[in-house]
A and B are shown apart, each in its own frame.
Chain A
Amino acid sequence: MSVILKLFASLRKYRTVINGTGGDSVVEIPGSLTVGQLLHSRGIPLEEAQVVLVNGNRAGHDYKLQDGDTVSVFPLIGGG
């Protein structure tokens, strides 16, 4: 199955390990991966991935990915 992985702010530096266009990378994964396992497999330190959204909703690192999910990952950020 495949998911879309989007990395933002200081996590953009990890985009270089992914072959994608723009900010989105379609990532082929075997079934039953969690968000944490996906990030780990891409060399992204979990402690930097403080805010994870799956399809726009907050998800934990233990969320089990489904085919077609969009995973957006951010460090802790604020402003306004």
Chain B
Amino acid sequence: MFSPLSAVVEINGSKGDKSMYGWTGRILRVNLSNSQINIETPEPDLYEKYIGGRGMGCRILWEEVGPEVNPLEPENKLIFMTGPLTGTNVPTAGRFTLTSKSPLTGTVFDSNSGGIWGARLKKAGFDGLIVEGKADRPVYLQINETGVKINDAAGIWGLNVPDATRAITGQTGQGYSVACIGPAGENLVRIACIMNDNTRALGRGGLGAVMGAKLLKGIAVKGSLKVPVADAEKLDFVLYETNKWLKANPITAQGLPEYGTAVLVNLFNECGIFPAYNFRESCYPAAESISGEAIAERLLVKKKGCYGCPIKCARVTRTSKEQGEGPEYESLWALGPECGIGDLEVIAEANYLCNRLGLDTISTGVTIGCAMEMADNNLADAGVRFGNSEGLLALIEDIAFRRGIGGDLAEGSGAFAAKYGGEEFAMQVKGLELPAYDPRGVQGMGLGFATSNRGGCHLRAYMVGPEVLGVPKMVDRFATQGKAGLAIFYQNINAATDALIICRFACLAVSEEYFARLLAAVTGLNYQPQDLHMTGERIWNLERLYNLREGFSHTDDTLPGRLLNEPVKNGPSRGHVVRLGPMLDDYYRFRGWDQTGVPRREKLFELGLEGI
């Protein structure tokens, strides 16, 4: 008898648009409610305007998931997208994005991951994968060049990430990459992530819960098709130059390879922008003992890189108890100083634990930090106090399994704090927990957090580049003047590189001019740097329109009261708050939006969004 859960669809025959290079021209659509599997071939115009990744993801979500859809209902969709450079030999272009409506923020949300999964999806012959509906029992997807299967996950549901990954590859055979959820995603924890080959994460926004709500445990992909390139000779030439830049820049050639992302700890701590104790402090005295340098000395087993990456910033590490990967800079901070914890081994083990359970390390740490401060204020007792290592590890498990008060923390810091009357202790913007930068000492970063269309995210504008790192040029981190224009510039170009998709770290060494040339060589289309800026601006504005349609407004473009009203008490940023108001006024004006943050008609015309 035909079983819809083992439906196999042969996909040779539908080859997409053969005139396209870089893109395969094919997007796979799987409906878990009725087991229907289709291959779609979007118009070339859509690819040209949105490129891929975050751009295509947002465009599809705009069309298909409206304000009536609850993020955890079957009508929400998971849109996995690669970009035209994914799977080519462009350095750091092995990435992919997942776009959905976030159960944590309610905004459009794209999460972006390295590893090798994205390259394999592309090499299986697909630019993207859309998953919709809800299965009637736990399943996982198996995708390769010849077919797609919806497999029963009965014996796999309930397993943690490494066990599930092993069980899935045990069934599919070797050569597959697995993106899957752990118990947190299954239990609809709103800060659940999706792990990719155990160690890289689609971390933010709780998209693991969207997978869990669909009863989709994992997606295994395998592929070895070659990505068609329009002008291989030109590509080789631009690659030669691009690789030279990566090798010549100390950030990508030394700092990240030698010390990983946690190389930032000491610099940010010395600047007084390294928050601690739920942002009560802006320095952490024991920072050096948990820095990238300390990881290299005490925990490092070996260095590791994503598909096609010469930087290799990932760390395989070992504590006295176990081996794993990380912690990355943000994770280390969230599970460490944010919670008043300075024991590197405990932090690494908390990080491994989050990875096994499928929890976003940033949101988990910041939500627990919030609970710790609320306990100090007698508002809620989650059994943890600042500095309590054992309590931290136990509470992480309770969140993933929604045990006791862990079930309240599983809703994220904003909802948790509101339930117990401590809203001011939730360090979040639009529901997304803030990462490891105190914006009181980096004003533009504050503007970036407030205006990010996926909530409190460092990567949208990444203003620490010019404000602290001096990349590409140093500006005054305490100044507000000029920050709006700079933030817009970076938000736009970063949206474009998230569509290509290129790792943010490569962008620290290679300018957008090279990315335009790489894109042109791969696709055969005439992309110029200004086209990337325009595409990024289009993506940014469409994301804004999406959030406005969801009911967000300019009143949501703000920061936790602490950062606006409580001056930093100690250290080099002492006395500062984020002076958001004037920056925000400039920001709306320079964006071509009205005073309430709504894009003006002329701006939409300029970007080709008028008919949307």
Contact = CB atoms under 8 A, between A and B. Distances in A.
Given A8-B267, A10-B258, A56-B271, A80 B464 contact: yes
Contacts of B508: 78
Contact of A74 (B267, B458, B504, B571): B267
Interface stretch (B150-158, B248-256, B348-356): B248-256
A5 B54 CA distance: 44
A9 B270 contact: no
Nearest to A47: B250
A74 B293 CA distance: 12
Q: Which of B251, B330, B471, B504 has the most CB of A within 10 A?
A: B251
A53 interface: yes
B402 to A, nearest CB: 30
Contact of A53 (B264, B271, B458, B505): B271
A56 to B, nearest CB: 2
B261 to A, nearest CB: 4
Contact of B258 (A9, A57, A58): A9
B54 to A, nearest CB: 17
Contact of B264 (A6, A50, A80): A80
Contacts of A57: 572
B182 interface: no
A48 to B, nearest CB: 8
B250 A6 contact: no
A32 to B, nearest CB: 24
Nearest to B507: A78
A53 B477 CA distance: 13
A30 interface: no
Interface string A50-80: 1101011110000000000000101111111
Contact of B313 (A23, A53, A79): A79
A12 interface: yes
Q: Which of A23, A53, A74 has the most CB of B within 10 A?
A: A74
Interface residues of B, number: 43
Nearest to B435: A80
Contacts of A51: 267, 469-470
Size range of the chain A interface in the assembly: 20 to 34
B462 interface: yes
B329 A79 contact: yes
A34 to B, nearest CB: 18
A22 B286 CA distance: 11
A74 B471 CA distance: 14
A9 B572 contact: no
B509 to A, nearest CB: 8
Nearest to B469: A78
Given A9-B266, A23-B288, A80-B329, A75 B474 contact: no
Given A9-B258, A9-B259, A56-B571, A80 B458 contact: yes
A50 to B, nearest CB: 7
A50 B251 CA distance: 11
A80 to B, nearest CB: 6
B254 A72 contact: no
B167 interface: no
B465 interface: yes
A55 B271 CA distance: 8
Given A9-B258, A9-B292, A10-B258, A79 B271 contact: no
A55 B292 CA distance: 22
B329 A76 contact: no
B330 A75 contact: no
B469 to A, nearest CB: 5
A51 to B, nearest CB: 6
A5 to B, nearest CB: 12
B263 interface: yes
Interface of B: 249-252, 254-256, 258-264, 266-267, 270-272, 288, 291-293, 313, 329-330, 435, 458-459, 462, 464-465, 469-471, 474, 477, 504-505, 508, 571-573
24 contacts: A8-B266, A8-B267, A9-B259, A9-B263, A9-B293, A10-B254, A22-B288, A51-B469, A51-B470, A53-B270, A56-B573, A72-B266, A74-B266, A75-B250, A77-B250, A77-B256, A77-B259, A77-B267, A79-B260, A79-B264, A79-B313, A80-B264, A80-B330, A80-B458
Given A76-B249, A78-B252, 12 more contacts: A9-B259, A9-B293, A10-B255, A50-B470, A72-B266, A72-B270, A75-B250, A77-B469, A78-B251, A80-B264, A80-B435, A80-B464
